[in-house]
Amino acid sequence: MDLGPYLLLASLEGAVAAAVLALTAVGLSLVFGVMRVVNVAHGEFFMLGAVLAWWFASLVAGHPAFGFVLALICAPLIAAVIAAAADYFVLKRLNYDPEATIVATIGLLYIIQQTVLMTYGPDARPVEAPFNARIYLPWFGYSTYKFFVIGAAIVLLIGVWIMLTKTRIGLVLRASQLDSEMALAFGIKVDQVYAMVFGLGAGLAAMAAVLVVPIQQAHYLMGGDPLLLSFIVVIIGGLGSIAGTVVAAILIGMSDGIISVFFSPTLAKIIATLLVAFVLIFRPTGLFGKRSI
Amino acid sequence: MPIIKKPSRLVTRRSALKGLAVGTGAVAAAGTLPGFVRYSQAQSSEPIRIGFQVHRTGIGAAYGRWYDRTTQAATKAINDAGGINGRPVEIIAEDDGTDPKRGAEVVEKFASQHNCDLAFGTLFSHVVFGSAPRAGELKIPYFVVSEGHHVASGKLNRYTLQPGITDVKSQVQAMAPFVSDNLGKKVTMIYPDFAFGHDHRDYFSAALEQQGGEVIAKIAIPPTESSFTKYFPKIPRDTEVIYHVMVGPAVLTFVKEMGEFYGPNKPEIFGFIDSLEAVDMASPGLEFLEGSYFWEGNPRYAQKDQSTYDKDYRAAVGVDDNGASVSDPKDVSTYSHMFGCWETLYTIKDGMEAAGYKGPEDRTKLIEAVESITDIPHSAEHPQGAKIFNGKTHQVFGHQYISKVKDGKLELAHTTSIEDTLYDDEVDYTTQPF
Amino acid sequence: MSAAAKSVWLHGGVITLLFALQFVLPAYHHGNLARIMVLAVYAMGYNMLFGYTGLLSLGHALFFAAGMYGLGLTIAFLDFAPSPALLSGIISALIVSAVVGFLALRTTGVAFMIVTLMFAQAGFLTILLFGEYTRGDEGFVIQQPERVLAGIDLTTPGNRYFAALILFSVCLIITARVVQTPFGKVLIAIRENEDRARMLGYDVLRHKLIAVIISGTMSGAAGAAYALLFGYVGASFAAVQYSIFPLLWVLLGGAGTTIGPLVGTIFMFYLIDLSSGLTSAYMLIAGVTLVLLTLFARQGLVGELRKRALPWLP
């Protein structure tokens, strides 16, 4: 294929990857920004979203869109409730000590993953897209659903942004992020805020998964890659900086598509991981962040 | 009944021995009907314990579930017909987590904790590589159903055998004549970027060149990849045939995205069914495969001229005419691989009966007896087809099937000869000491 | 009794016990214990950094794999005999840990964890990238004739056990000795309060770097020994899971205790071995254990013992 259409396709694919990644990574970034917790189980909430999407879709007969809409509403809610419970029963009791919470979330990762294995099983299962028309360009065909994924992610991200900057909830979140003791002194129930943020982070990951599952499939080991990529994005973007996270997601998502045009894909992945390591070593605030970790 | 060439010294030793069970073993080995031996005639009815290393968790789990069902069905069939040497067979299953370290530990557990007579099972080659050294050291026969080229390449040891399934080298090279004669000479290969994929790349490229064809592009995909569209532009425009083989949970995505990419103007497509093993052919997005070809180890859909052996085997394992579970039509089997468990267990039975196997002290006799097997006819015990076992390389060779997708089902289009699958020996395990 | 004398008695006792056990254990547990001792060396290496210096790494699989491949590849491609190959494995781990330490120690805390995780991930992918030599995920076997170390066939159970015991004892003695030296005391001081240690005039960075190197080299020795004793080299040992395992073992046994890594490795090994008979989701038990440990026994088994009953435990 000629380079032009090739790059067009790589950009389209990159945009889909970036959209899903941005949603997932914003969840991780939010949790880190407000709670200073590195949630290693974040990828499992993503996986939980996909598996729940399959479950909801299989409950509803008729047009696949019904099941999809149901999943888009309910799967993130369930993931959020589970995450909030984990915060209440585990993380809170560790006083959000950074190292202890990492270890605890590693434990959480295995608990979620293995519980899904016991109930849902080891299969990869497809979920039908709500619509699936293909458009045919002169060089290749492309699924219209993928455009929907990009659009939906943009809408959701704008929603998160409005919530953080224009609403009272956002104000409370930002207050807790800046100074949790002061927020407490002003009568903000920091406990509840933390549980909510942890739930919100997990919910965003789950929502990203619901969007992507008609393209991929739900599988109990699918959380690993989104976790690693989200880490990369959050660090490059600057920990806790939501805008930086989104920019980095676009950067990483697009470059993943385009780098693989020129390099062996395995080599591309090595370059990406080393890049993260060196960004952290030589610019610990990330490319766009203000605070180091 | 398989024909077994017995080493004569086995017979001499055996005929010198007294005891009813030993006598019946010799008779059975000499070619009497199977099922002749009954528990009541056995000297001991202690079960023969077979350690079954199974992928219950990890990326191999879909295969593991069907390996398990096939193994249970074969064990039931063997026991209903009187067991082995008059003794019932007991399967002790342990999960290897599709992990080589755990695999080795499981083999140890079979040998020294569960007191198994032998170890058996497993598909993924890295688990075989991790486990085989321990099997050799513990001197426990290790029968794998893995289709890897590891056994025949000489990298393992005398205790490791693969008598129930052909290896990737012979599968792949047998495809080259069909592909180049019927589909095209210019082939682009898409395969996972790890050892299994590299085997496909190397053996197919070599075999296709011999047929006068050429692999014009080789596209390796990292094992953790979950979306594939970005790789398809690397397929050169003058490609006549796309050859694809993928494994793992993302296989369906791969095939769907290939369909989206090409739409109706696709080149010929030839795939290994591994790309869709345990996946329903009726899944949304697979319509575009209509008219494409697949290698199958054993035809998933019951064919018009289905043998009675396949019919009985299918019924015993609980697989319907579409290759899915009789209790859940969405639960699709790994039909191209799991027959290996059934056939391996019957080969173990034949080997044990020929060797007059009584207990772990006869393990080397069992291996010698299996090494001396050559022709394995198409039979109820070997429903996939006739085979030739090479005792030197510990590897079996057999027919390969090529099916065409018609009306969303796989219809057998070509059966290769066994000769197409043969290659020069790379090892002679029989020269290695026990 | 002085602390040093108690230490000699304790560690001598553990080594004697392990020596004696080989005569009474049934075959299966005999084999398991040989494996556990090698893995415990890995855990001890991890403990040197995490338990005594207070640096939590999520990338130790890189060091384990450096030892494993340093040995395996030299045997496979340069026809090294086992002893130089073992040395090559240990040196590979030493070099890799020095480089990683030099770079990663510019960060602290969470950033250190993520940097080590990323290096390990890059190492894992590199093994896959060079699949032509490493055979990637499939790995390769080290055959029996290549595993005869100085005339001793390491494939027989007795010799294997003995080799594992020697490696374990050496590393246990090194650990026990290091933590009693002034150098070890500085490490502990860094763990307790890095700023204060710096203010007292210690070169914190140099101490940490040496700790990373000791830790990485010990982990690499375990990796090399694992390949030599069990005859298999494969990429799965470089995967992220194998960076998590030593953390798990050390936490369970007790971080910052000399015998904690051994106790934790034994405990976890049998927990998984026994529970895999009950459920296929046996890693669930590992997960629950981790959460319960962080909630209720942050010190681990030996650490809790030290806290409650035996304050002298090193």
Mean pLDDT of all residues in chain B?
85
Give C290's contacts in chain A (Cβ within 8 Å). Answer: 103-104, 106-107, 110
The reported pLDDT for the residue numbered A291 is: 55
How far apart (Å, rounded) are the C-alpha atoms in residues A39 and A91?
10
* Cβ burial A120-137 (10 Å sphere, 16+ → b, else e): bbbbbbbbbbbeeeeeee
* CATH superfamily placement of domain B8-166+336-398: Response regulator (3.40.50.2300)
B12: pLDDT strictly greater than 80: no
Nearest chain A residue to C50 by CA distance is: A99
Q: Which CATH superfamily is domain B169-296+400-421 in?
A: Response regulator (3.40.50.2300)
B280: closest CA among C143, A72, A125? A125
Which tokens hold the place of C306?
């030290």
Residue A132 falls within a domain, yes or no? Answer: yes
Please report whether residue A206 resides in a domain.
Answer: yes
A255 located within any domain: no
pLDDT of res. B22: 41
Predicted pLDDT of residue B298: 93
C-alpha B360/C-alpha B381 separation (Å) is: 24
Distance from CA of A61 to the nearest CA of C (A): 31
ipTM over 0.90: no
Q: How much is the pLDDT for A289?
A: 61
- 3-class secondary-structure state, position B278: coil
Q: Tell me what the mean pLDDT of segment B3-27 comes to.
A: 41
**Shared fold status for B8-166+336-398 and B169-296+400-421:** yes
Rounded distance between C-alpha atoms, residue B141 and residue B370, angstroms:
11
CA A111 to CA A107: how far, in whole Å? 6
Which pLDDT does position B33 carry in this prediction?
42
**Interchain CB contact of A191 with B (< 8 Å):** no
**Residue B48, token pair as written in the block:** 């023969």
Q: Is the per-residue pLDDT at B71 higher than 90?
A: yes
Q: CA nearest C153 in B: which residue?
A: B137
**Per-residue 3-state assignment (H helix, E strand, C coil) for B376-426:** ECCCCCCCCCCEEEECCCCEEEECCEEEEEECCEEEEEEECCCHHHCCCCC
Query: Is residue B197 very low, low, confident or very high in pLDDT (cuts 50, 70, 90)?
Result: confident
Spell out which residues of chain B touch residue A222, defining contact as CB-CB under 8 Å.
226, 249
Chain B hits for C246, Cβ within 8 Å: none
From residue A139, alpha-carbon distances to A7, A9, A16, B314 in Å are 12, 9, 19, 44
What is the rounded distance in angstroms from the CA atom of residue B221 to the CA atom of residue C238? 20
d(C-alpha A51, C-alpha B235), whole Å = 33
Over chain C (314 residues), the average pLDDT of each successive run of 10 is 81 91 89 94 95 91 97 92 93 97 88 89 92 87 85 87 94 92 91 89 92 96 95 91 90 89 92 78 82 86 85 82
Q: How far apart are CA A229 and CA A24, in angstroms?
A: 9
Average pLDDT over residues B188-210: 89
Over residues B328-355, the pLDDT tens digits come to 888 889 999 999 999 999 999 999 999 9
Q: Looking at beta carbons, which residues of chain C come within 8 Å of B168?
A: none
- Give the mean pLDDT of chain A: 85
Token pair recorded at residue A119: 């109930």
Smallest Cβ–Cβ distance between A266 and the set C113, C129, C247 belongs to C129
Q: Count of CB atoms within 10 A of residue B43's CB?
A: 16
Question: Per-residue pLDDT tens for A51-83?
Answer: 999 999 888 877 888 888 999 999 999 999 999
A217 and B230: CB-CB below 8 Å? Answer: no
pLDDT at A261 over 80: no
Partner-chain contact B260 A10, CB within 8 Å: no
A256 within a domain of the structure (yes/no): no
Q: How far apart are CA B241 and CA B247, in angstroms?
A: 20
Chain B residues 24-53 within an 8 A CB cutoff of chain A: none
The pLDDT value given to residue B88 = 93
The two structure tokens encoding residue B169: 């080298």
> How confident is the model at residue A33, as a pLDDT?
84
In this prediction, residue A288 has a pLDDT band, given cuts at 50, 70 and 90, of: low
Which tokens belong to A103? 């270890």
Q: What per-residue confidence (pLDDT) applies to B30? A: 40
Kind and range of the H or E run holding B330? strand B328-332
B217-234: pLDDT as tens digits = 998 888 777 788 888 888
Structural domain range at position A191: 19-222
Q: Would you state the pLDDT for residue A43?
A: 94
Is A131 in CB contact (< 8 Å) with chain B?
Answer: no
| A140 pLDDT tier (thresholds 50, 70, 90) | confident
Q: Is A264 close to B283, i.e. CB distance below 8 A?
A: no
Q: Does C135 touch chain B (CB under 8 A)?
A: yes
- Amino acid in the structure at residue B93: A
**Total residues found in chain C within this entry:** 314
Q: Does C32 touch chain B (CB under 8 A)?
A: yes
The answer to which of A131-135, A207-211, B180-184 has the lowest mean pLDDT is A131-135
Reference A137, options B386, B260, B276; nearest CA is B260
Q: Does C31 touch chain B (CB under 8 A)?
A: yes
Give me C50's structure tokens: 């995490």
Residues in chain A: 293
Identify the contact set of chain B against chain C, taking CB-CB distances under 8 A.
56-57, 94-95, 99-101, 104-105, 108-109, 111-113, 125-126, 129-130, 132-134, 136-137, 148, 150, 155-157, 193-196, 198, 222-223
**Tokens representing A112?**
């979620």
């044990």: which residue's tokens? B352
Alpha helices of A179-223 — where are they, by DSSP H? 180-185, 190-212
Asked whether residue B21 carries a pLDDT value surpassing 70, the answer given is: no
Q: Which residues on chain C are in Cβ contact (under 8 Å) with A231?
A: 114, 117
Mapped onto helix, strand or coil, the DSSP state of residue B95 is: strand
> Higher-confidence residue: B90 or C286?
B90
DSSP β-bridge partners for residue B91 = B50
HEC secondary structure over C99-137: HHHHHHCCCCHHHHHHHHHHHHHHHHHHHHHCHHHHCCC
Does B194 contact A at CB distance below 8 Å? no
Where along chain B do its domains lie? 8-166+336-398, 169-296+400-421
Evaluate whether residue A279 is within a structural domain.
no
The residue of chain C with its CA nearest to that of A92 is C295
pLDDT of the residue at C259: 92
Taking the CA atoms of C246, C250, C256 and C259 in sequence, report the sign of the dihedral they define: negative
What is the pLDDT at residue B251? 77
Q: What residues contact B261, with CB distance under 8 A and at least 6 apart? A: A140, A141, A142, B229, B232
Name chain A contacts of B219, Cβ cutoff 8 Å: none
State the distance between the two ends of chain C, measured CA to CA, in whole angstroms: 14
Mean pLDDT of A228-235: 84
Q: State whether A141 and B263 contact (CB < 8 Å).
A: yes
Give the pLDDT band of residue B400 (cuts 50, 70, 90). very high
Which residues in chain C have their CB less than 8 angstroms from residue B223's CB? 128, 137
Domain boundaries, chain C: 3-239
Q: Which two tokens stand for residue C156?
A: 């027989």
| pLDDT above 70: percentage of residues in chain B | 90
Instruction: Supply the pLDDT for residue A156.
Output: 93
Give the residue on B whose Cα is nearest the Cα of C35: B105
B285 and A132 in contact by Cβ < 8 A? yes
Chain B: closest CA distance from residue A212 (Å): 10
**Which of B413, B411, B416 lies closest to B301 in space, CA to CA?**
B411
What's the CA gap between B45 and B39, in Å, rounded?
Answer: 6
Given B126, B133, B193, which is nearest C138 (Cβ)? B126
Q: Coil, strand, or helix at residue C196?
A: helix
Query: B113 vs chain C: nearest CA distance in angstroms?
Result: 5
Q: Report if residue A25 sits inside a domain.
A: yes
Cα angle for residues A76, A82, A84 (degrees, 5° grid): 100
Instruction: Tell me, yes or no, whether A263 lies in a domain.
Output: no
Partner residue facing B262 (CB), from A141, A143, A260: A141
Chain B CB within 8 Å of residue C107 CB: no
CB of A45 within 8 A of CB of A83? yes
Where do the DSSP E strands lie in chain C?
Answer: 140-141, 148-149, 152-153, 232-233
| Other Cβ atoms closer than 10 A to C314 | 18
Q: Which among A16, A121, A217 has CB closest to B252? A: A217
As for how many domains chain A has, the answer is: 1
